[in-house]
Amino acid sequence: MVISMETKPLKLYNVIFPFWLILFWPSPPVILLTLFGNLAIDCLVVFLVLLALKHPARGSVLKRCWWKVWLYGFLSDVIGAVWLTLGLFGSWALDADGTAPGWVSDFATAMTVNPFRHPLALVWTAIGVAIAGVCIYFLDRRVFRRAPELDGRQGHVLALTLALVTAPWLFFVPMYLG
């Protein structure tokens, strides 16, 4: 008896996930490290900015705002990651049948491995970081506007510094430099 099995060519698209997705991987040690690392950085930035502003109620402001700044930072990072994911899935959709121009595959590969390998992937990643930074600014500005210890200028300086320092710069980190 002869069994004939007809096989179709299997094409795997970018099996390697981008490095920044590790931030959202459901592994308890990674999640805890990410949560506490972000908390420490956010609180440190708020404290140092208040120190630089010579604000007398640093502890009170930090006690009132730390959890909102932390939560909104994560929300903003997720919004930036959604932007990156849209670009990645969009490129996969364009090349679903394997007939898209070569730059589509190059873009998808660069998005998953090293955004510096393709100009469009670099720009797309920069836009994702900028989107997250803008979200951080506006959400934190809202938090600091409600803090009675802060005036408008201090809230602006805090929100702007948090947006610049805590934007998801890890989106740019390549999985390897090849």
HEC per residue, 28-66 = HHHHHHHHHHHHHHHHHHHHHHHHHCCCCCHHHHHHHHH
CA distance 169 to 166: 8
Domain ranges for the chain, please list them. 23-172
pLDDT per residue as tens digits for the range 36-65: 989 999 999 999 999 999 999 999 999 999
Q: How many CB atoms lie within 10 A of CB 80?
A: 24
Amino acid residing at 72: Y
Give CA 127 to chain center in angstroms.
11
The pLDDT > 90 percentage for the chain reads: 61
Global pTM? 0.80
Q: Which tens digits make up the pLDDT trace of 13-43?
A: 444 445 555 555 566 777 788 889 899 999 9
> Length of the chain, please?
178
* Token pair for 15: 């099996």
Q: What is the mean pLDDT of residues 132-158?
A: 96
